[in-house]
Structure 1
């Protein structure tokens, strides 16, 4: 978005942040207007900083940034609008429901169980309102890891190519990274320090539905 040289910097950030928020949350504009109806300047500041400035920074991908935000919200004991909003923006940024609950579990060890339990109670309602399965399906990474282990044991749950089976069975170690709520990248290592092959697994619910092999050169 082009900056208007005649607009105050905070106003520009708010405009950009509001657009980002509306793209993430279908009723985002109405939610912001209702939330900051009494103190619109606070909305300009909060939305401008969080969704105008921070979301535009290239240092973290949207999934990781939302995971960090969600963990901080749980740790701070904020179970009102911040928890509700960042559940929505987290899901819209590619986090799976199971990853959101896993973040809450991780945060509980550092924030304390009372705050985590309060957040969990609120999530019961938020999951129900969003029509999400509760408890959620395993995370994409969990599903992908279980799939890889089955293939390595010669028990592939879906048809996969001989080349994929070979890469998984011969790999000394695997490194898995979820890149969205439905895809996981698997790096296959043998003796070398660099991956010998990459696999892209498509995940739906509790199952891997397809595997694409990319060999390293």
Structure 2
């Protein structure tokens, strides 16, 4: 009889290895004593949940990090999902913001414990402490001081929806003021902003036809 979990486990290992350098060796070391737990955990999280289409990988990792902090799981879970969160496209500042958000609902002691571990994890990854602003923050500041073509687009389409799609990419959907909040409103323009650290390095404007 075929074991369905075995297939999920193999797929999960492949997914994890694609996110983390030396991922399979790390999993083998983590679950060396209890390999059956590794099969269950990796198969469930990376073989099944990670492949569900309702959430993109960034959002799923952010939700996972929030759950880890809320549960007080400082240790391997936070370390592992910092790696996979960064690999999925979360910016370091977004990871920190997850901790801040979680503190209000899960309590400050657990958030402080997570922040303490992040100090060491960031240092180990060679990440700046504190991290630069999140890409979304950088773009919002850029839009507030926009000039030239971008300023013209915002004057024409002043209502914006700003969404980071990766550690260095932010999309800004720009709507006419009269579009209201209708779900079927089509943006008059979309800005693709490339972000490096605290700077917007380029903005490409796409206009609706």
Q: Establish whether TM, by shorter chain, passes 0.5.
A: yes
Displacement of 1:174: 1.4
Q: Distance in 2 between matches of 1:7 and 1:134?
A: 48
Report 1:76-91 matches (<5 A): 76-91=71-86
Residue in structure 2 matching 1:198, options 180, 190, 193: 190
Match 2:205 to one of 195, 198, 213? 213
1:44 shift after superposition:
0.1
Q: Post-superposition shift, 1:65?
A: 0.3
Partner of 2:156: 170
Q: Secondary structure at the match of 1:34?
A: helix
**Residues 1-217 of structure 1: pairs in structure 2 closer than 5 A:** 7-151=2-146, 156=147, 162-190=148-176, 191-192=178-179, 193-217=185-209
Q: TM-score, normalised by structure 1?
A: 0.91
How much has 1:57 moved relative to structure 2?
A: 0.8
RMSD after superposition: 1.1
Displacement of 1:169 in angstroms is 2.6
Cα separation, 1, equivalents of 2:138 and 2:157: 19
Task: Count matched residues.
Answer: 203
State the alpha-carbon separation in 1 of the partners of residues 154 and 139 from structure 2: 12
SS in 1 for 2:96: helix
State the Cα distance separating 1:172 from its structure 2 match: 2.7
Specify the SS of the correspondent of 1:73: helix
TM-score under structure 2 normalisation?
A: 0.94
What is the CA–CA distance in structure 2 between the aligned matches of 1:17 and 1:147, rounded to whole Å?
39
Q: State the shift of 1:187 in Å.
A: 1.1
Q: What's the CA shift for 1:7?
A: 3.9
SS at match of 1:136: coil
SS at match of 2:44: helix
Inter-partner Cα distance in structure 2 for 1:7 and 1:19: 19
Distance 1:133 1:7 in 2: 47
